[in-house]
Amino acid sequence: MFEREFVIAQETEDFDEEWEKVLFRICYTRQRLKPRVTDISKFFSYIKDELLKDNEDNIGDIVASILSQTSVTSVTSTDQGQQAELPTREKGSYKRVWLIDWDSLKRSLQN
Protein backbone atom coordinates (compact mmCIF):
# COMPACT_ATOMS: atom_id res chain seq x y z
CA MET A 1 0.00 0.00 0.00
CA PHE A 2 2.81 2.41 0.93
CA GLU A 3 4.69 1.81 -2.31
CA ARG A 4 1.64 2.61 -4.45
CA GLU A 5 0.85 5.81 -2.55
CA PHE A 6 4.53 6.81 -2.53
CA VAL A 7 4.82 6.44 -6.31
CA ILE A 8 1.68 8.53 -6.81
CA ALA A 9 2.93 11.19 -4.37
CA GLN A 10 6.28 11.49 -6.15
CA GLU A 11 4.47 12.41 -9.35
CA THR A 12 3.25 15.65 -7.73
CA GLU A 13 5.34 18.74 -7.13
CA ASP A 14 4.68 18.43 -3.39
CA PHE A 15 6.95 15.37 -3.18
CA ASP A 16 9.45 15.68 -6.02
CA GLU A 17 12.45 16.79 -3.95
CA GLU A 18 14.44 14.41 -1.76
CA TRP A 19 13.50 16.14 1.51
CA GLU A 20 9.81 15.96 0.53
CA LYS A 21 10.12 12.22 -0.09
CA VAL A 22 11.62 11.81 3.37
CA LEU A 23 8.79 13.91 4.81
CA PHE A 24 6.24 11.64 3.09
CA ARG A 25 7.87 8.53 4.61
CA ILE A 26 7.89 10.06 8.09
CA CYS A 27 4.29 11.27 7.95
CA TYR A 28 2.99 8.05 6.38
CA THR A 29 3.74 6.03 9.51
CA ARG A 30 2.04 8.49 11.85
CA GLN A 31 -1.74 8.32 11.89
CA ARG A 32 -2.19 11.99 12.82
CA LEU A 33 0.25 13.30 10.19
CA LYS A 34 -0.61 11.10 7.23
CA PRO A 35 -3.79 12.98 6.22
CA ARG A 36 -1.93 16.29 6.48
CA VAL A 37 1.30 15.37 4.71
CA THR A 38 0.51 17.52 1.65
CA ASP A 39 -0.23 20.57 3.82
CA ILE A 40 2.97 20.01 5.78
CA SER A 41 4.97 19.75 2.56
CA LYS A 42 3.41 22.94 1.21
CA PHE A 43 4.15 24.75 4.48
CA PHE A 44 7.85 23.87 4.41
CA SER A 45 8.06 24.54 0.68
CA TYR A 46 6.63 28.01 1.25
CA ILE A 47 9.20 28.71 3.94
CA LYS A 48 12.01 27.41 1.73
CA ASP A 49 10.91 29.08 -1.50
CA GLU A 50 9.50 32.38 -0.28
CA LEU A 51 11.03 33.23 3.07
CA LEU A 52 14.52 31.80 2.56
CA LYS A 53 15.23 32.63 -1.08
CA ASP A 54 18.62 34.20 -0.39
CA ASN A 55 19.69 32.17 2.63
CA GLU A 56 19.43 28.46 1.78
CA ASP A 57 22.80 27.64 3.37
CA ASN A 58 21.36 27.89 6.89
CA ILE A 59 17.88 26.60 6.10
CA GLY A 60 17.79 24.10 8.98
CA ASP A 61 18.74 26.68 11.57
CA ILE A 62 16.31 29.23 10.18
CA VAL A 63 13.37 26.80 10.11
CA ALA A 64 14.19 25.72 13.68
CA SER A 65 14.24 29.37 14.72
CA ILE A 66 10.90 30.07 13.02
CA LEU A 67 9.26 27.07 14.65
CA SER A 68 10.68 27.93 18.08
CA GLN A 69 9.04 31.36 17.85
CA THR A 70 5.58 29.98 17.17
CA SER A 71 3.15 29.35 19.97
CA VAL A 72 0.41 26.83 20.44
CA THR A 73 -2.96 28.48 20.84
CA SER A 74 -5.12 25.38 20.86
CA VAL A 75 -4.39 21.86 22.05
CA THR A 76 -6.68 18.90 21.50
CA SER A 77 -6.17 15.23 22.17
CA THR A 78 -7.14 14.20 18.62
CA ASP A 79 -7.46 15.73 15.18
CA GLN A 80 -11.22 15.30 15.28
CA GLY A 81 -13.16 17.99 17.09
CA GLN A 82 -14.60 17.07 20.42
CA GLN A 83 -18.31 17.52 20.70
CA ALA A 84 -20.32 17.57 23.89
CA GLU A 85 -23.95 18.40 24.37
CA LEU A 86 -24.40 21.00 27.04
CA PRO A 87 -27.54 21.29 29.13
CA THR A 88 -30.32 23.47 27.75
CA ARG A 89 -29.88 27.05 28.85
CA GLU A 90 -32.57 29.12 30.50
CA LYS A 91 -34.26 31.68 28.29
CA GLY A 92 -32.42 34.98 28.18
CA SER A 93 -29.03 35.84 26.87
CA TYR A 94 -25.80 35.23 28.72
CA LYS A 95 -27.27 32.90 31.33
CA ARG A 96 -24.52 30.69 32.73
CA VAL A 97 -24.66 26.94 32.90
CA TRP A 98 -22.71 25.54 35.83
CA LEU A 99 -21.23 22.08 35.57
CA ILE A 100 -19.85 20.83 38.87
CA ASP A 101 -18.44 17.52 37.69
CA TRP A 102 -18.90 14.84 35.01
CA ASP A 103 -21.79 13.23 36.89
CA SER A 104 -23.76 16.48 36.94
CA LEU A 105 -23.15 16.87 33.21
CA LYS A 106 -24.40 13.34 32.56
CA ARG A 107 -27.51 13.90 34.70
CA SER A 108 -28.32 17.19 32.98
CA LEU A 109 -28.00 15.58 29.56
CA GLN A 110 -30.41 12.81 30.54
CA ASN A 111 -33.12 15.30 31.57
User: Do the domain assignments include residue 10?
Assistant: yes
In a domain, 85, yes or no: no
Choose among 32, 45, 38, 46: nearest CA to 5: 38
Is residue 39 in a domain?
yes
Q: What is the value of pTM for the model shown? A: 0.53
More confident residue, 44 or 97: 44
* Segments forming the whole domain that contains residue 7: 2-68
- Per-residue pLDDT reduced to its tens digit, 64-107: 777 787 766 666 666 555 555 555 656 665 666 566 667 666 66
Q: Looking at the domain assignment, is residue 99 inside a domain?
A: no
pLDDT in tens, 73-85: 666 666 555 555 5
Sign of CA dihedral 93, 94, 98, 99: positive
Tell me which long-range contacts 104-109 makes (C-beta under 8 A, separation of at least 24).
109/85
Residue 76 lies in a domain: no
Per the domain annotation, does 91 fall within a domain? no
Q: Half-sphere exposure of 14 toward its Cβ, with a 13 Å CA cutoff?
A: 14
In a domain, 6, yes or no: yes
